[in-house]
Structure 1
Amino acid sequence: GEGEHPVAAAFSPSSTHVAIGYRTRMIHIWVTATGQEPLLLKAHQRWVNDVLFSPDGQLLLSVSNDTTVKIWNASTGVLVQALYGHQWEVYSACFSPCGKYIASASSDKTVKLWRTSDGACLATLSDHSDLVQKVTFTIGG
């Protein structure tokens, strides 16, 4: 819409949906085939920095300058989990290939590993000398 600035986008694994995150703190989830009116998520308190669908397409991950990682039901837009623990902006996050874990990267110089099912923080990697802008899992582990 007018005045909105998209900053992140992701297609679902089946390409049936696209999620777009905005500086306005919103996320829109569109049906790609029809372009029907999107789900509108009032997602964060500050900019959305990254969005990503889970490997099965059921969940949507979002991260923000508000220091949070959030897990959404991709079909309904309902918040499933909010993950707290980063001290500064979260720039990137991703699901593991199996979908059981999430990694997040932050300007607080850490990468955190979370369990998707309950949001538990399993590890914090803090040996970075500067902010961490991107995180990903490799398929082979």
Structure 2
Amino acid sequence: MGASNRVDGGFAEYSGHTDNVFAVAWSPDGTRIASGGRDNTVQIWDPLSGQHFLTFRGHPTCILALAWSPDSQYLASSCTSGLVHVWQASTGTIIHTYRGHVRFVRSVSWSPDGTCIASGGDFGDNSVQVWRAFDGKQLYTHSQYRVFSALWSPSGTRIVSSCFEESVQVWDAMTGDKQIEYHGHHGPVYATSWSPDGTRIASAGHDRQAHIWDAATGQQLCVYREHTHFIKAIAWSPNGDFLTSAGNDTILQVWTAETGQRLVAEYRQHQSWIRTLAWSPDSTIIASASKHTVHLWPWQHSRY
């Protein structure tokens, strides 16, 4: 599949997809971006030039989530039919297909040591399933109603998961035993993000709020209230200084992680809802997707 890239006023736009993009993931080495969505493809491309490297067509239905392995060699991708593929990023060769879910798999996350994957299922199985990345052996299932997000902690010892119900759970990554349950939101919690040092968690959802809370105690630290519609994506900058959030109000907002109170900058180039976003590993660029395009925003805090 061909892809195009244009730069307009410093903003790059990747338009290789033919339908809505629901997932964007930056490779840990910073050299590639993977994006996937309703056209049933995952596309890998160069974030600097927009050059298209590879199109993966292994899914029969819409792509919902993507995650790179820590060594940037493999990708895990999930779709609405319940499949999770693990495949080689350089060739598109499928290493393993995990079939433990029934339908919509909205989240995939690699363990920091690259050995396991946590995948979160929405309709049908209502669970986070933890399994070995390269042979699919299931280690355990953590039950939760309609899972939207499941992310491994930076230390690899815990997983945070959010769901259609108001709660966010933090649990032991080895056993699945629940440690903390956060109840600060009102309505479904669509997205979560760990701080790079693993001490805090950001969560956001249907109530138009983003919360920062203590990952060890569940104590709420601050609430960000600048969005006017549902928040569908949130991500901590790798340097730990900022959070960015976006959703149905079409505006990408960057705000201070220390206090959670100060809006630092906004990106208003999207014309429709935003479902996914990702920081570059060096915290200088933000990728976000709306409809069938992915925008790259060269973020430099010194400009604001």
Q: Which has the higher contact order (CA 8 A, sep 6+)?
A: 1
- Distance in 1, matches of 2:17 and 2:138, equals 38
* Amino acid aligned to 1:69: V
Match of 1:113 in 2: 130
Bigger Rg, which one: 2
What residue identity is the alignment partner of 1:22? G
TM superposition shift of 1:2: 6.6
3-state SS in 1 of match to 2:129: strand
Q: Distance in 1 between matches of 2:101 and 2:84?
A: 9
Q: Does 1:59 align with 2:74?
A: yes
Determine if contact 2:86/2:134 at 8 Å carries over to the other structure: no
Q: How does 1:31-70 map to 2 (within 5 A)?
A: 31-70=46-85
Q: Distance in 2 between matches of 1:10 and 1:58?
A: 13
- Between the aligned residues of both structures, percent identity stands at 34
How far apart, in 2, do the equivalents of 1:83 and 1:101 lie?
12
Is the alpha carbon distance of 1:103 and 1:40 closer, same or farther for their aligned partners in structure 2, counting shifts above 3 Å?
same
SS in 2 for 1:77: coil
| Equivalent position of 1:125 in the other structure | 142
- Superposed counterparts of 1:1-141, under 5 Å: 1=16, 3-107=18-122, 108-126=125-143, 128=144, 130-140=145-155, 141=157
SS in 1 for 2:150: coil
Deviations 1:56-88 (A, max 9, x none): 100011011010111110111111111011122
User: In the TM superposition, what is the alpha-carbon distance from 1:118 to its structure 2 partner?
Assistant: 1.3
Separation of aligned partners in 2, 1:40 and 1:3: 13
Cα distance in 2 between the residues matched to 1:54 and 1:61: 8
**Aligned pair count?**
139
Unmatched segments (≥5 aa) in structure 1: none
Q: Within 1, Cα distance between the matches of 2:106 and 2:71?
A: 23
Per-residue CA distance 1:12-33 (angstroms, 9 max, x = gap): 0011010000201101011234
- Normalised by the length of structure 1, the TM-score is 0.92
Structure 1 residue runs of 4+, over 2 Å off?
A: 1-4, 31-38
Greater fraction strand: 2
1: CA distance, partners of 2:154 / 2:37 = 29
Contact 2:112 2:152 in 1 (8 A): yes
TM-score (norm 2): 0.44
User: Contact between 2:117 and 2:132, CA under 8 Å: does it hold in 1?
Assistant: yes
